[in-house]
Copies of this chain bind each other. A is one copy, B any other.
Amino acid sequence: MSEIVKPSTLPGFMELLPKDQILFNEMMDTIRKNFENHGFLPIDTPVIEKSEVLLAKGGGETEKQIYRFQKGDTDMSMRFDLTVPLARYTVQHFSDLSFPFRRYHIGKVYRGEKAQKGRFREFYQCDIDTIGNETLDISNDAEFPVVIYNTFKELGFDEFAIKINNRKVLKGFFSSLGIKDSGDVLRTVDKMDKIGQASVLQELIERGISEEKANKILDFISIEGTNDEIFAKLEELNIEDEIFQEGFGELKTVIEYIKDYDIPEANYAVDLKIARGLDYYTGTVYETILDNYPEIGSVCSGGRYENLASYYTERKLPGVGLSIGLSRLYYQLTQANIVKAEKQSLVDLIVIPMNEYVHEGIRLVSQLRKKGVKCIVYTERNKLGKKFKYADTLDIPYTIVVGEDEVKSGKYTLKNMKSGEQDLFGIDEIVARINNL
């Protein structure tokens, strides 16, 4: 006998009980169905890639977090997002793809971050992107809020806001203030909802921006109102910067197209505070906030990028996309009791044969399954109480006990475990009852 090893998982790796997994899978199925119904095509890339390919862009915080290792002569890394694999995939299979290439990808990604509550080292991302060959019309930027809207509606949310901005609007405005290198400023502005106005002001000043300009930035990103009111106020500012004008034009166009897509105005809004941390984004940016739970932050983010794959090709591949961090979303929604596992089981019926009637129980289950009933049969030899406890723990809606009487009569007592109601039925009636659930 070998030594006993205590079974445990690594910290930062989520693992769920079946009832929670059922809920998680339902959310993932809903996301997938919406992605597919909006015309995005599935891809699935290897979790492990050549390090030289995956890390072609190199540098940055991410690289430290990557699971990278050697096997034989090969230097391999585990993917840390689904965007780099998309870039690699799009270039590698370029001639076999039709552009605009609309793809979705749901899969696990890996980041060896410092473990902390609600941060995972292995987590699911659900990404959609549309990639153009050389050009991609701005109207595509309007379709992503539609997909988010339909997906979150079907996930059971009514009150959420897709916040939309354009980085060129911010960059152009900063430029009009004489701030040329705006990357850090964008990242500071992006923290507004997290750290508040005073801290943003302080951080801007620490970055060497004069108090006057810092206040102007705060005033700018605090512009509020309906989309039309915000646009009117932006017009009034008379900012002549070319980048600003380009971004402003794009933002107005995107909002016009979103109107064509006809999603409720309550569910989307221009928000000049939205900047996104990544330099990668060059135009439209999105975040999604659950109105009643702003503290969990953006549940779905993304944006437009000018060039997907400059590390793999000289071809220009502009795109726009968004990502739902499903593991984090699931964790936050369940922690906050916003969603709750309700099913312990995926079947509607358990057949419980008396110990001498296992053959007959199996025959019944077999007949019911052929008629489309999702059911199982409990075949362990046990006391009846223990058998019912199993049905109870798995919270299976209906039970049928099979004993001498049932076998003789061909009639079975179908018991509704919630209401306690029970009635004697033949097989066809049982099927009708259960399949009309």
Contacts and interface: CB of A to CB of B under 8 A. Distances in A.
A168 interface: no
Interface string A1-25: 1101111111001111110011011
Interface stretch (A100-108, A225-233, A274-282, A410-418): A100-108
Contact of A53 (B5, B358, B375): B5
A58 B5 CA distance: 12
Contact of A92 (B4, B8, B347): B8
A98 interface: yes
A88 interface: yes
- In the complex, which of the residues A9, A68, A135, A261 has the most CB atoms of chain B within 10 Å of its own CB atom? A9
Interface stretch (A159-167, A309-317, A423-431): A309-317
A139 to B, nearest CB: 4
A309 to B, nearest CB: 8
B67 A44 contact: no
B10 A74 contact: yes
B1 A15 contact: no
Given A10-B46, A381-B137, A376 B102 contact: yes
Contacts of A374: 36-37, 39
- In the complex, which of the residues A14, A39, A256 has the most CB atoms of chain B within 10 Å of its own CB atom? A39
Contacts of A146: 366
A91 interface: yes
A394 B180 CA distance: 44
Contact of A18 (B5, B43, B71): B43
A313 B379 contact: no
A10 B89 CA distance: 13
A88 B7 contact: yes
A58 B107 CA distance: 29
A141 to B, nearest CB: 10
A56 interface: yes
A96 interface: yes
Interface in A39-63: 39, 41-50, 52-53, 56-58
A92 to B, nearest CB: 4
Nearest to A108: B47
A371 interface: no
A69 interface: yes
Closest 4 CB pairs of A and B: A39-B376, A69-B69, A18-B41, A13-B46
Interface of A: 1-2, 4-10, 13-18, 21-22, 24-25, 36-39, 41-50, 52-53, 56-58, 67-72, 74, 76, 87-89, 91-93, 96-98, 100, 102-103, 108, 110, 112, 121-122, 132, 135-137, 139-140, 142, 146, 150, 256-257, 260-262, 309-314, 345-347, 358-359, 362-363, 365-367, 369-370, 374-376, 379-381, 390, 393-394
17 contacts: A4-B312, A5-B56, A5-B311, A7-B309, A7-B312, A9-B49, A9-B50, A13-B48, A18-B97, A39-B347, A41-B346, A48-B121, A48-B122, A139-B358, A142-B362, A260-B363, A261-B362
